[in-house]
Amino acid sequence: MTEAGLLKKALHSVVAGQVNAAADPYRPGWHLAPPVGLLNDPNGFIQHNGRFHLFYQWNPLACAHGAKFWGHWSSADLLHWQHEPLALVPSEEFETHGCYSGSAVTDNGQLTLIYTGNVKYPDGSRTAFQCLARENTEGQFDKTGPVLSLPAGYTGHVRDPKVWRHENHWYMVLGAQDLNLQGKVLLLRSDNLLAWDLLGEMAGSGLHGLGEFGYMWECPDLFRLGDNDILICCPQGLAAESDRYLNTFQSGYFVGQLDYDNATLEHGEFTELDLGFEFYAPQTTQTDDGRRLLIGWMGIPDSDEFFQPTIQNGWLHTMTCPRELTMVAGKIMQKPARELQQLRRDEQAWQGTADDCPHLDMTKAETEIITEHAFSADLGGDMTLSFDGEWLRLTRKNRRTGLPEHRVWRGALHKLTVLSDASSLEIFINDGEAVMSSRYFPALPAQLTVRGSHQIALRHWSLAECVIE
């Protein structure tokens, strides 16, 4: 279909569905969500000319995966966001089945997008093109077209370019699947963003002593943090263990040192970025003041996602809050971006035995729980959070099967920060030592009820709504 035809269909879908979507009681007050339809991966996260831009995978036509568009928001402060014109529409032959994920850079002052054009054929095969689009004077994006076709030795699963500048060259990491159906991350180099040289397999299943580690690595991101190079990626095909890899697909990171000349990353073990029920495809950017920020998709690409109740009102999924990343003792720490503190209202403080704790409104709130002892918390009647002195356990009923399911963290606990929105929870453990992110659908207004026989201290704020203006 032509770009004009797709734009007409998208506009009709938004106009027809936005009233119901906006009136949904589970609509977030301070998380980003699509106007209608399905949202997934964050793309092109960048601070350009002092303003933050966040693009996103979007199917405006249905709450289903399909030929993805790129939606576009921008913000001056990470709090108040505005809709920008649709950035990419899958209208060309090199992107017939979607403008898949990618990144953004500033090239000679011009905001430039690098993304995957996804093409599927009637016989079930597929290919992928890495494509370029540049912002014009009207704030829209003109497509240059493919700058890299499918490299030899890989299946059609090659996607999600993340591009950055290092010394005098542009570099790209690409998620890939080799012909032995093993996940890899490729490293490429360019002088001009138009012609790319494949330098080699930087990391992946079977490399650097890792052993078999998944059949596809999606959404790679490579950046410097402290004295280390960090590779974020999403390996698909890891077998679940008792206390890790519990989601259908994983998101995590390796800490190492990138050898640019030899295209290798010597790294340590894989660490999950988030231990909650819904988290995938994170992307980072460096801010003008030197911070490394991360935003993820609060979703997982599996069948359970289509049992979320917001589908009844024509929309599906949200982003996480923006998070600041730092390195402490070789491990990434994640904290809510400091800008979010500006949303705090009506501070309450309480201390005493957990059983005596007052009920708190957590519909849109931030709650600090200070304790080293066992306790349990009912989260809006939809989920429970409990600590037994060794294991922190987040529990809910699976929306598809109705059976209990759990996510866990093990360690010495001293502080929890619970960021809650109308249908999401982000639980930061020990100032960001670990995080649990999940969608939830409580009885509204949602109440937090804490129980236990030990002492506990709480600080609680309601959070102002702020997202789209």
Cβ-count burial 330-340 (b if 16+ within 10 Å, e if not): eebbbebbebb
Retrieve residue 114's tokens: 């690098």
331 token code pair: 């491990």
Per the CB < 8 A criterion, the answer to whether 252 and 313 are in contact is no
Burial class (CB in 10 A: 0-12, 13-18, 19+), 110: exposed
Please give the C-alpha separations between residue 80 and each of 32, 86, 202, 464, in angstroms, as whole numbers: 10, 18, 38, 11
Spatial distance between the Cα atoms of 366 and 446, rounded to a whole number of angstroms:
13
C-alpha distances in angstroms, 459 versus 40, 327, 349, 383? 33, 26, 5, 21
Of 326, 427, 425, 423, the C-alpha closest to 368 is: 427
100 touches 117 (CB < 8 A): yes
Distance CA 121, CA 211 (A): 33
Closest to 399 in 3D by CA, of 321, 319, 316: 316
Nearest to 305 by CA among 21, 69, 39: 39
- Write out the two tokens for 70: 């790129």
**Number of residues written out for the chain:** 469
How many CB atoms within 10 Å of residue 136? 11
Which amino acids are annotated catalytic?
Answer: 41
